Structure formats: structure tokens, C-alpha cells
Chain A
Amino acid sequence: GAVVSQHPSRVICKSGTSVKIECRSLDFQATTMFWYRQFPKQSLMLMATSNEGSKATYEQGVEKDKFLINHASLTLSTLTVTSAHPEDSSFYICSAAPGQGPETQYFGPGTRLLVL
């Protein structure tokens, strides 16, 4: 149980285009989903927290107009990188939490984004 999927697993795009990444909780309902970014040889940095049906809460320094997050249902959250540039190339990982308590977040396998 507690499986989280991400699609696509890898994407290459041209500079200036937008890319959508999906995060799904397959066997549970996720009240909250989190989006992280991981640069090579670095740790995960939280970008934003999304709750189903409400606006995402972005961490300081993360541009909300560039990284659009939609949490339309209890099993799906999407991250859209708008007008992507090479510096946006990174490993994007989502996680999903089934409740509000200190439960473990269940992590997706990640999406490798390369912007040319």
C-alpha cells in the first residue's frame, strides 16, 4: 500500500515551453501533497504544499507564477513549470500525506526535467 506515482519519469523540453508533471496517490487519498526539487548532489528542498481544493502554499523564494500547482482531487496534484529555462532543470519529487497528523509522507519516484 501507500504508492505514489509520478508522470512522466523523464522529460526533455526546449527553453520557453511549459511542462506538466503529475503526482498521483494510487491506493489512498492524500489530503496534502508536497513538491520538492533536488539539484544534483544536493538535498531535497520543499517548493510548495498543496491541499485538495485550495491554493498551494509556496516556500520563500519559489515563484508561484512559474511553478503552478493544482490539487484538483484527493489523488492527483500537478506541477506545471511555465516558460522553462535551463536553470529549471532538476529532479522534481512529490510526496503525499493521507492526513494532517505526523504521518509519514509517501514519496513518488521523481521526474527528471532537462530544459535545453
Chain B
Amino acid sequence: AQSVTQLDSQVPVFEEAPVELRCNYSSSVSVYLFWYVQYPNQGLQLLLKYLSGSTLVKGINGFEAEFNKSQTSFHLRKPSVHISDTAEYFCAVSALEYGNKLVFGAGTILRVKS
């Protein structure tokens, strides 16, 4: 079985400040990792993904994440946030052994304040 933990339900941050959204996962097999963003009343948009290779993954909108196997983490970072980054962010894990089904974390609401 797999699970994803997003410890922070909400993260308030001022505009142009850096932000880190935390994600830890649990799995008995090798995993693929994803970060998605959801704006109100919309579906999910992929920010970035880790399938293999370099552990530092760069995504859209200036976001990046680092896969740390020893700490089973995949934290999302952005050096300088904008008001438009206000949204809910979901970390997800999948594995070939489980049919590539996505298992989502509970989500973190990022609130960017001016």
C-alpha cells in the first residue's frame, strides 16, 4: 500500500517570499511522484513529476521539487511566490506495481498575501 502525507493544511506567505510545501510518502515499492495544483472549482494541473533520473525536478510556473529517497520526501519549493500562486497543491504517488493509480495527499492551501 502507498500513502502520502502533507503535514501543512495551509501555508500563508507574503508575495515575493520563498515557500516550501512539504510532502512525505510511504511505499514498499519504487514510486513515481507528482505535484498538482488546483484552482477553485477547477480540475488538477500538473506542476511537475519525478519518474527517474535527476532528483531535482523543475516544473511550470517556477516551481521545483527534490526527491529524497532516504527521507521519503518530495517537497515543493518556489523561491519567490506571486499572488496568482494562491491555490491548493496536491502531492501524489503512483507505482507500476499498483497499476499506476494515483494516491493523493490531503492537499496544502497556499495563501499568498500582498
Contacts and interface: CB of A to CB of B under 8 A. Distances in A.
B44 A102 contact: no
Nearest to A45: B104
B69 interface: no
Interface residues of B, number: 23
Given A43-B105, A46-B101, A102 B94 contact: yes
A43 B41 contact: no
A108 to B, nearest CB: 5
A84 B14 CA distance: 43
A25 to B, nearest CB: 13
Nearest to B102: A105
A93 interface: yes
Contacts of A43: 90, 104-107
Contacts of B42: 109-110
Interface stretch (B15-23, B45-53, B70-78): B45-53
For A4, A43, A45, A100, the residue with the greatest tally of chain B CB atoms inside 10 Å of its CB is: A43
Contact of A93 (B32, B43, B96, B107): B43
Contacts, number: 52
B100 interface: yes
Given A93-B43, A112-B41, A104 B34 contact: yes
Contacts of A45: 104
Contacts of A93: 43-44
Interface in A40-94: 42-46, 49, 91, 93
Nearest to A97: B100
B65 to A, nearest CB: 14
For A6, A46, A105, the residue with the greatest tally of chain B CB atoms inside 10 Å of its CB is: A105
Interface of A: 4, 6, 34, 42-46, 49, 91, 93, 95, 97, 100-110, 112
15 contacts: A34-B102, A43-B107, A46-B101, A46-B103, A49-B101, A93-B43, A101-B96, A102-B51, A102-B96, A104-B34, A107-B43, A109-B42, A109-B43, A110-B43, A112-B41
Given A43-B106, A49-B101, A102-B100, 8 more contacts: A46-B102, A91-B41, A95-B44, A95-B102, A102-B32, A102-B96, A105-B102, A110-B42
